[in-house]
Amino acid sequence: MASKIITILNITFRKGEGNKITFKGRDYYDLLWFLQKGINPDIKRLGEVLGISRKKDIYKQLSRKIKKINPDYLKEDILPLFEDRRFIEKYCQNYKEMIKKYIS
């Protein structure tokens, strides 16, 4: 989970027309999965890599990044991974609300 957070906060990824998509949807999908399972990040590792040693501060930074997510870009990236298109459409439209309860 720490590696996923490091990737989300530190890696700049660009794809799509005009490089508009600046994240990998799978990383955000995985992050929510970890949180839903009650898995806690390795704060010591995050402190070493990110220089942030409090879970609260890490989640604040994640929250800022998540607010910028375009649900259409999230859908475009994770849709090929699932058979149920309706599930992914609803998931992506509600992602920010779902994750908010874990990181706010």
Domain boundaries, the chain: 2-103
| Total Cβ atoms within 10 A of residue 72 | 13
Q: Is the pTM of this model over 0.85?
A: yes
pLDDT, tens digit, 9 for 90 and up, residues 19-68? 666 678 899 999 999 999 999 999 999 999 999 989 999 999 999 999 98
Q: CA 14 to CA 22: how far, in whole Å? A: 5
As a whole number, mean pLDDT of residues 79-94 equals 94
Decide if 7 contacts 47 (C-beta within 8 A): no
Residue 93 has pLDDT above 90, yes or no: yes
For residue 78, what pLDDT is reported?
Answer: 92
3-state secondary structure of 15: strand
Residue 21 forms beta bridges with which residues?
A: 15
